[in-house]
Amino acid sequence: MKLVTFVSDYKMTVDTLDRLKPEKLGIILCQNGVFHATTKENGNSSSLLNYTADYYVLKEDLESRGLTAENVVDDKVKVITFGDIVDLMFNEYDKTAWL
At 46-89, the pLDDT tens digits run 888 989 999 999 999 999 999 999 999 999 999 999 999 999 99
Strand pairing of 44-45 and 40-41? Answer: antiparallel
Q: Where are the domains of the chain?
A: 2-10+28-44+51-98
Specify the CATH number of the domain 2-10+28-44+51-98.
3.40.1260.10
Q: What is the value of pTM for the model shown?
A: 0.92
